[in-house]
Amino acid sequence: MPTFAYIGCRTTRQRAARGQGIQVYLMGAPGESWRPVQSVDGLENPSYLLVEPCRGVLYAVHGDGSEVSAFRIHPASGRLALMGRQPTGGRNPVHLCMTKDGDHLVVANYATGTVAALPVIGDGALAAPASVLALPGQPGPHRVEQQGSHPHQALRLRGTNRFVFPDKGADCVWMADFDSAAGRWQQQTLWHATAREGAGPRHAVLHPDGSALYVANELDSTLTTYALTPDQRLSPQHLVALLPESFTGNSRAAGVALEPRSMTLFISNRGHDSVTCIALDRDTGLPAGRHWISAGGQTPRFIALDAPARQLIVANETSDTIQAFFLHDAGSKWQLPGLPFTAARTGSPTCVAFYQTDFRSNSQ
């Protein structure tokens, strides 16, 4: 089945960006460059994208602004058509996640320290925010990057409407429940686990069985492993550095992904321009070994796993490339090759989302 890749980017002069908008590509066979399908120009900083495959809709935040857009995905060509925009209930939206039943879209607003829930209408269009939750975090020690609560991700625990919000500004990881029937956040459930001072929690990923949460800390380039307790609270268990001891420059952790077959974590490092590969112990779930590979470019802001194609995708924001690392089947474990393949070249890429259609691509 054809798979389409949607690349978000930065576009504004304030970001010194070179992007034009959302770029749509048809992914090729392993080793083949992706084929351009469409350029949705004129969008301001469509910096994070989320595909809702059941409805065939793509959502895009407009970074540094205060809106989120919805696009219909053509089922055969993969092309996008704008359905509408809505405010996000805050400034600088950076991440999106669906509620359990897909009836609300959750937005993390970085600058204003809020998370909002927007109702999803039947065809995938959005309504104005129904509920906005303010995160009352205290500023961390970094005077520029930690001026208050700055949630950088919205992640839902499997099978529930409990959400996790890594907060780069307040050095903590929030948890809160959403009541879909009432269409609002349950303020009384708001709770947080404290991170190390100055860590800057940015992005997280769950263990496949839901027993642990792995949080990439941007500011101190570490990874914290939290155990999920029976009452679904977070208990810190382990901390590991994401950079080699020999590296003395500046670097920040960014994206995180987990490959479940090999139980390998991948974390991108902006500055060191690498991907940290962490083997997880299958019994304890804790980090058991590390190695590093080049990101194949500068400023790897985003990484994702394309499971059907068995590849790790890296978006290098400064060098304007999308790199693909093929994961070769090696029995019980997948291994990364030493060098990536350049799948696409596009200005200031910050996110890649995928959509696999049941339609066969002919001449589109």
For the stretch 51-60, pLDDT in tens is 999 999 999 9
Rounded distance, CA 60 to CA 95, Å?
9
Rounded distance, CA 189 to CA 6, Å?
35
Select from 269, 278, 257, 153 the least CA-distant residue to 206: 257
Residue 39 counted as domain residue:
yes
Residue 364 counted as domain residue:
no
Residue 361 counted as domain residue:
no
The pLDDT of residue 306? 87
The pLDDT of residue 309? 67
Kindly report the CATH number assigned to the domain that includes residue 293.
2.130.10.10
- Per the structure, the complete domain to which residue 337 belongs is given by 3-356
Residue 79 counted as domain residue:
yes
DSSP state of 306: E
The pLDDT of residue 340? 86
Rounded distance, CA 110 to CA 216, Å?
16
The pLDDT of residue 361? 40
The pLDDT of residue 362? 36
Q: Tens digits of per-residue pLDDT, 175-187? A: 999 999 999 999 9
Residue 238 counted as domain residue:
yes
The pLDDT of residue 59? 99
Q: How many CB atoms are closer than 10 A to CB 360?
A: 9
Residue 47 counted as domain residue:
yes
The pLDDT of residue 307? 73
CB 167 within 8 A of CB 173: yes
The pLDDT of residue 137? 86
The pLDDT of residue 364? 33
Residue 327 counted as domain residue:
yes
172-179, strands of its sheet edge to edge: 155-156, 162-167, 172-179, 184-194
Strands 300-306 and 287-294: unpaired
Low-confidence ranges of the chain (pLDDT < 50): 331-332, 359-364
Strands 222-228 and 234-241: antiparallel
Strands 80-87 and 93-98: unpaired
Select from 2, 6, 1 the least CA-distant residue to 304: 6
Residue 363 counted as domain residue:
no
- The residue type of 357 is T
Strands 114-119 and 104-109: antiparallel
DSSP state of 358: S
DSSP string, 210-230: SSEEEEEETTTTEEEEEEEPT
3 state DSSP class of 194:
strand
When divided into structural domains, the chain yields a total of 1
Take residue 356 and report the two structure tokens written for it. Answer: 């696999």
Q: Tens digits of per-residue pLDDT, 191-227? A: 999 999 999 999 999 999 999 999 999 999 999 999 9
Q: What percent of the chain stands above pLDDT 90?
A: 88
Element (H, E) at 3: strand 3-9
